[in-house]
Amino acid sequence: MRGSVARLGSASCSTRYDQGALNRLDSPFFIAWLFRASAWTLVAWLLGWRGVLVLAVLALVTQAAARAVHQRRAHASQSAAIVGGVVAVHVAVFLSVLRPELWPVAMPAGIGVFLCHAVSYLVDVRRGLVDPRRQLAAVLYLLQLPVFPSGPLSRFHDFEHQLSRTDVSMAGFSYGVRRISQGLTKVYLVAGPLGTVAGRIFALPVTKLSTDSAWLGAVCVGLEVYFYLSGFSDVGIGLGKMIGLRYQENFRRPYTADSIREFWRRWNVTLITWLRDYVSLPMAGHERGSRRLYVLTVCGFVLVGLWTETSWNVLPWAVYCASWLAIEAAGLGARLTRVPRVLRHVYVLLVVLLGWVLLRASGPGPLLGYLEAMVGASIAPFGASAEYFTLGFSTALVSALIFAGPLVGNLSRWRVSVDSAVASLLMMFAATGILLWHAVNGVRRLYELAAGTKAGRPRP
């Protein structure tokens, strides 16, 4: 009796298992992985297959090293040596990419994202926080092509948890379409025109640089960097939402900050958090400053600068930004709380814009001449910037000023309506496409039937 009951139980369990296996091939599971495979393939094609192939090889090497670290986690020195060696290889590849003449393969722009994910994954494996035996999840985490080229960054345990879910829905799809459209608009319709004008202004000789042109170039550089990075972050967040992956917001309106410390807490949030958790660089994280904290902050800003600009100007820019954080920690930050909020905003904007000018200038001489023009000591007459104000540039500049400022918060309540409208349009286009397909197919069948009847009719 017990044997028959056991056989019956095993048969029912087998039936349930088979049913579960079949259920995993139902529409949500299939659609989710179909979308994910399509997203990875599309982004790989856009980034270039040769560079992605090199990243895939590095991902496999990293996964093999993670397995070795997991097996030798009891031996701290051995696991640390493996992590250090693999990270050194990644850093060497990253630095070689900065010199295109030394690296024959055109690497994707997301090599920085790949490096950060590899380091966080290996460190978490060594800390015992993640299990590297899930091969596919680990490789997909390292090759997170949807968030290339500028983030946002994520952690392996969050990615692995979301990868097993199949919550792909029309609401998420429409939200992703809206975020991708928003990101591409930021990059190509806002940051593009601003960067073009900024490049023309910074290429001017000092004798032809007027005060208004200098200020216009500084504003354009600051807005260009913000909309370029945040635009690609929006694309990554939107694409992830479409395939059932949720990423953290990377920019929280930094130009509305009241202090330099708050500005960097809102700028590229996932990168700043990564520097704190995995490289022990507490960016703007302490109230009191020290020499050691200042040196670490400079090193952190070097990495943040390389995320934006690959030039030697990154080092003086890092010293400049770290110095302002040190000044605020030394007492300026406490005094700022007693200053009207408008003046605090003006202070932040001035400091940040001068920093972007320092990062963009082509050398010490042009930088000094540019700063002289900004304070009014220019040779060129005032009003020379009028030639840059075309219709396209003016539209991009006004849009950038609006959406980088505090007014964008008042527009948040309209986003739900926009997502609903996008979903309605997608459904309408899909229905229209199906109806047109059926109509064309019906006409084609009628034509074939008429042609067949005509061919079979006897000739007179």
pLDDT tens by residue, 242-278:
888 888 899 999 999 989 999 999 999 999 999 888 8
Which three-class secondary structure state does DSSP give residue 209?
coil
- Backbone angle region of 182, left / alpha / beta, with phi > 0 → left and psi within -120 to 50 → alpha: alpha
- For the chain, which residues make up each domain, given as ranges? 29-163, 171-415
Q: Considering only CA atoms, which of 36, 55, 14 is closest in space to residue 240? A: 36
- pLDDT tens digits, residue range 69-123? 988 877 888 888 988 898 898 888 887 776 766 666 666 667 888 889 999 999 9
244 phi-psi bin (left φ>0, alpha ψ -120 to 50, beta other): left
Q: How far apart are CA 88 and CA 85, in angstroms?
A: 5
The pTM score is 0.80
CB neighbourhood size of 246 (10 A): 14
Place of tokens 């540039």: 393
Backbone phi, then psi, for 148, in 5-degree steps? Answer: -75, 150
For the packed helices 291-308 and 269-278, what is the interaxial angle rounded to 10 degrees?
130
pLDDT of residue 18: 38
CA-wise closest residue to 252 among 264, 261, 244: 264
Q: Are 253 and 230 in contact (CB under 8 A)?
A: no
Which one, of 314, 290, 292, 291, lies nearest residue 303 by Cα?
Answer: 314
User: If 0-12 CB within 10 Å is exposed, 13-18 middle and 19+ buried, where does residue 215 land?
Assistant: middle
pLDDT for position 189 = 92
Written as six digits, the tokens of 321 are: 């930004």
Point out the residues of the chain with pLDDT beneath 50: 1-25, 410, 457-460
Supply the pLDDT for residue 202.
Answer: 93
- 10 Å Cβ neighbour count for 67? 16
